């Protein structure tokens, strides 16, 4: 009711659930683990892309992760949490370090790939409790966006991309307003 990714509701037009679900979690353990990953991974992505693009990447990869989950589960899925967005940030870093190779980048990419292998193993062990499709969708979206979204280097500053944070913020606010209106109306 509060905005989880619920396949049948999305297919009936509640598309805002693809965004609100990113910010909802099942319990304190769930939000705790996601917060730790965000604290570990987020600053590196924000350093490369700036705050506005970071938030844009976070929201878009999370939403695209839920889109993949929706189709993977034949429109019947239920999911919530930031994991798809977090895997999206990992994908951005993997894509960035592939696009701009360096020895430091290879080290970071290697650590992220090991982290992803652990996550896949956990996903297999706890299948049914973890939305592996949203994880995969977020990861793939992140890698792709690393090739599309320019970093915040001096050459890319003050571009239209700097406005993407406002766009993402507007989409999040609108999505939660839609969730509120939906809960008051039904």
SS3 6: strand
Residues contacting 21, CB < 8 A, separation 6+: 3, 4, 5, 62, 66, 79, 80, 81
Q: How many CB atoms lie within 10 A of CB 184?
A: 7
In the set 30, 83, 159, 183, the catalytic residue is 83
Tell me whether residue 35 is one of the annotated catalytic residues.
no
What does the block give as tokens for 103? 């020895």
**Burial status of residue 125 (CB atoms within 10 A of its CB: 0-12, 13-18, 19 or more):** exposed
Sign of the four-CA dihedral 109, 37, 175, 167: negative
Tell me whether residue 83 is one of the annotated catalytic residues.
yes
In the set 135, 153, 159, 175, the catalytic residue is 135
Residues contacting 99, CB < 8 A, separation 6+: 146, 147
Instruction: Please give the positions annotated as active site.
Output: 83, 135
């Amino acid at each position: 009711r509060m905005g989880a990714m619920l396949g049948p509701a999305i297919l009936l037009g509640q598309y805002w659930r693809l965004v609100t679900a990113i910010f909802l979690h099942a319990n304190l353990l769930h939000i705790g683990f996601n917060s730790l990953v965000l604290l570990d991974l987020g600053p590196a992505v924000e350093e490369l892309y700036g705050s506005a693009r970071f938030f844009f990447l976070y929201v878009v990869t999370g939403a695209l992760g839920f889109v993949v989950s929706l189709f993977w589960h034949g429109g019947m899925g239920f999911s919530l949490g930031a994991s798809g967005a977090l895997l999206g940030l990992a994908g951005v870093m993997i894509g960035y370090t592939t696009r701009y190779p360096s020895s430091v980048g290879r080290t970071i990419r290697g650590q992220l790939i090991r982290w992803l292998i652990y996550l896949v193993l956990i996903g297999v062990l706890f299948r049914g409790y973890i939305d592996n499709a949203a994880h995969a969708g977020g990861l793939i979206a992140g890698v792709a966006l690393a090739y599309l979204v320019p970093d915040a280097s001096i050459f890319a500053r003050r571009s239209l991309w700097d406005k993407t944070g406002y766009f993402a913020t507007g989409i999040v606010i609108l999505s939660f307003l839609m969730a509120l209106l939906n809960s008051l109306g039904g």
